[in-house]
Amino acid sequence: MTNINTLLQNTFNLPTFRPGQEAVISALLAGRSALAVFPTGGGKSLCYQLPALALDGLTLVISPLIALMKDQVDALREKGIAAARLDSTMDYDAVREIYAGMNDGSLKLLYVAPERLGNERFLDRLRRQHISLLAVDEAHCISEWGHNFRPDYLKIARQAKALKVERVLALTATATPAVAKDICEAFDIDVADHVHTGFYRPNLTLKITPCSQNNRMDVLRARMKNLLGPTIVYVTLQKTAEAVAQKLAQDGIRAEAYHAGLKDDKRSHVQEAFMSGDVDVVVATIAFGMGIDKADIRAIYHYNLPKTLENYVQEIGRAGRDGEPSVCELLACADDCVTLSNFTYGDTPTAESVCELVAHLLSQGETFDVSQYELSSQYDIRSLVIATVLTYMELKGVLQANGPFYSAYKYQFKRPVEAVLTGYDTNRQAFLRALFDASKKGRVWDHLEPAVAAELLGEPRERIVAAVTYLEEQGDLEVQVTGLRHGFRRIGNPDAVALAEELVHTFARREEQDIVRLNQVVAFAEHGGCLTRHLLAYFGEEMLTDCGHCDGCDHPEPKVLPRSPIRALGDVHRDVVAHVREEGHEALQHPRQLSRFLCGLTSPATSRARLGRHARFGGFAELPFSDVLKFVEKI
């Protein structure tokens, strides 16, 4: 343990471990996998960063956010640690430097998004690496019971085995007992190596203020008059972020909006201004704050209801990381449930689309490949849901993935062709010349289809890709890829109808789970009694006494959230439906498609047809999707 403490103090400049860190690190150094369930700001990152320096080989970190990667890599490099991130924003020279570090063993930590494991060239490089540790951040995403399930995460456990990873560290701040059980089973983590430090943070004061849609902005403005310090205001919609930030700025508050609709440079500017203190308040959708290492955030306001209690805990966890008192206030309005539930319903594909998709997949022959983008467009199912269907079919033993690949490459020489060929023997020179000749010449880029080249040259496709990858690593070529496809092998002859029905049921169940989670948020907001105790119980943690400092302890009576009366659907709405149907849009033929359109929910088909600009798009946005769907189905 002396070595661990030496690294802790000399490299990371920390006097002691935080709760749970030493137990996790000890398990990893003993060769075992572990699960760390720590609250936001609880020191999860050290649990893989320190072992990475003590172990031989590469530590691969799976993280869903570029902002998190960038901040952590910058901090590690300042400490003299060889760390890098690999993402879509990086230029050719930076990527080449990372690959060189992987090849010579000098790189100790590499951060990538989960989707990067769907890159065939990157996987080929990983297979040649000694991966001593795989760290999976936001590991709750692998669980079907998790609050933000992501198909790419489901595959990580299988990929870890295929890559012969020595040990895995799963990390999350929001795991219920059911989710933690899923994670441990996926990565073969022993119960003794599931380290849970508890969610209670005594410096956070939880408050609930029931609001109506009409007075919520006034309540927030009143809070801003007595600004406690750096503050985040969380909202649901991008347009809400813009509107609230503008109103606060009009009051003389240094406030900025942050959401996915902003350009990358604008988001970076807002984040950096908040970190430096040039901006006091960020009004943001849920992505902001993940991985932001700002210890002195004094207040978190939820202008809209969070979608789940897991989201809520993660977001309030960004306050008071310095241990100083901080306020977390929810401006609770039940009207938000309409928008939040409509998002859930909007993701669910029609039963007909699922049936047609499954029939198509099972009719492709024993081995086949598909483009998720093309399937999304063809069947009007969002790409994430297409990925989920394919993943479920793998998990059910119907399909076996043969790996992702790119159908098209383009490259340009970084030095003359003859100089590139120099140093290779006669056979390899002949192979490379034939490979270059199989490419379509362009003014700047030459275009290569590996499958076509493989057939022309009578060589395996793998050799074509390996050659291009090697030349890229040597700095002889700059390469770009397009046309991501996923290869599969069908197993047996499954019943397409039965499988489709099972998948439809699965999506319906997930829809129901999401609505249950939303209702749990409302129940929390209306709870009478200690809010902290109620919240911890949801995560399976028993608190023997009330916290004594939350809203519920000060005012233990149950709250009632204001609810606007739901406008009844009548003749005016019937006329709108009839008018849109008369226009004969192909993208709106199914009642569920039309209902999504009327509620302002996009889909691949409506986006392709540019119906988001239609005058009737979102005309029923204030109405529950389920009511609109029933109404449309009857007309």
pLDDT at 174 (0 to 100): 86
pLDDT at 191 (0 to 100): 94
The residue extents of the domains of the chain are: 2-196, 204-333+527-554, 344-398+494-513, 404-489, 571-634
CATH class given for the domain over 2-196: alpha beta
**pLDDT tens for each residue of 267-322:** 889 989 999 999 999 999 976 655 567 889 999 999 999 999 999 998 999 999 99
Q: Alpha carbon 191 to chain centroid distance? A: 27
Q: Give the CA count within 13 Å in the CB-facing half-sphere of 400.
A: 7
35-39, 88-92, 423-427: segment of lowest average pLDDT: 88-92
Rounded distance, CA 550 to CA 543, Å? Answer: 14
147 pLDDT above the threshold of 70: no
Higher pLDDT, 602 or 155: 602
Rounded distance, CA 627 to CA 451, Å? Answer: 50
Sheet order of strands, 299-302 included:
204-210, 326-332, 299-302, 231-234, 281-284, 255-258
**pLDDT tens for each residue of 322-345:** 999 999 999 999 999 999 999 888
Q: What is the mean pLDDT of residues 210-230?
A: 95
To which residue do tokens 């060589």 refer? 459
pLDDT at 288 (0 to 100): 66
Angle, in degrees to the nearest 10, between helices 461-473 and 426-437: 100
**pLDDT tens for each residue of 462-497:** 899 999 989 998 899 999 999 989 999 999 899 999
- Cβ 117 vs Cβ 161: under 8 Å: no
Q: How confident is the model at residue 67 (pLDDT cuts 50, 70, 90)?
A: low
CATH class given for the domain over 204-333+527-554: alpha beta
40 pLDDT above the threshold of 80: no
Rounded distance, CA 483 to CA 477, Å? Answer: 19
Average pLDDT, the chain: 92
Rounded distance, CA 598 to CA 411, Å? Answer: 45
**pLDDT tens for each residue of 341-380:** 998 887 788 999 999 999 999 999 999 999 999 999 999 9
558 pLDDT above the threshold of 60: yes
**What are the tokens at 18?**
């935080």
Q: List Cβ neighbours of 573 (8 Å cut-off, separation of 6 or more).
A: 620, 631
58-67, 113-122, 389-398, 585-594: segment of lowest average pLDDT: 113-122
404 pLDDT above the threshold of 90: no
Rounded distance, CA 473 to CA 466, Å? Answer: 10
Q: Give the CA count within 13 Å in the CB-facing half-sphere of 378.
A: 14
Looking at residue 300, the DSSP 8-state letter turns out to be: E
- Cβ 140 vs Cβ 310: under 8 Å: yes
Q: What is the mean pLDDT of residues 187-209?
A: 94
Region label for 590, one of left (φ > 0), alpha (ψ between -120 and 50) or beta (otherwise):
beta
Higher pLDDT, 42 or 451: 451
Q: What is the mean pLDDT of residues 441-455?
A: 95
Q: How confident is the model at residue 426 (pLDDT cuts 50, 70, 90)?
A: very high
- Cα–Cα distances (Å) from 557 to 180, 187, 519, 520, 529, in that order, read 33, 44, 19, 18, 7
Among candidates 67, 76, 71, 49, which has minimal Cα distance to 135? 49
Helix (H) / strand (E) containing 183: helix 177-186
Type of residue found at 531: L
- Cβ 434 vs Cβ 427: under 8 Å: no
pLDDT at 1 (0 to 100): 43
153-167, 206-220, 361-375, 542-556: segment of lowest average pLDDT: 153-167
- Cβ 186 vs Cβ 142: under 8 Å: yes
2 pLDDT above the threshold of 60: no
Rounded distance, CA 1 to CA 20, Å? Answer: 15
Region label for 628, one of left (φ > 0), alpha (ψ between -120 and 50) or beta (otherwise):
alpha
Give one DSSP letter per residue of 368-430, joined into a string: EEE-HHHHHHHHT--HHHHHHHHHHHHHTTSEEEEEEEEEEEEEEESS-HHHHHTTS-HHHHH
Rounded distance, CA 237 to CA 305, Å? Answer: 11
Q: Helix or strand or coil: residue 299?
A: strand
For 82, phi then psi, to 5°, come to -75, 95
Higher pLDDT, 575 or 72: 575
Q: Comparing 204-333+527-554 with 404-489, is the CATH topology the same? A: no
**pLDDT tens for each residue of 172-186:** 988 889 899 999 999
What is the fold of 404-489? Answer: Arc Repressor Mutant, subunit A (1.10.10)
Q: What is the mean pLDDT of residues 388-405?
A: 87
In the chain, % of residues over pLDDT 70: 97
Among candidates 62, 425, 41, which has minimal Cα distance to 199? 41
Other CB atoms within a 10 A radius of the CB of residue 491 amount to: 14
Type of residue found at 597: F
Give this prediction's pTM: 0.83
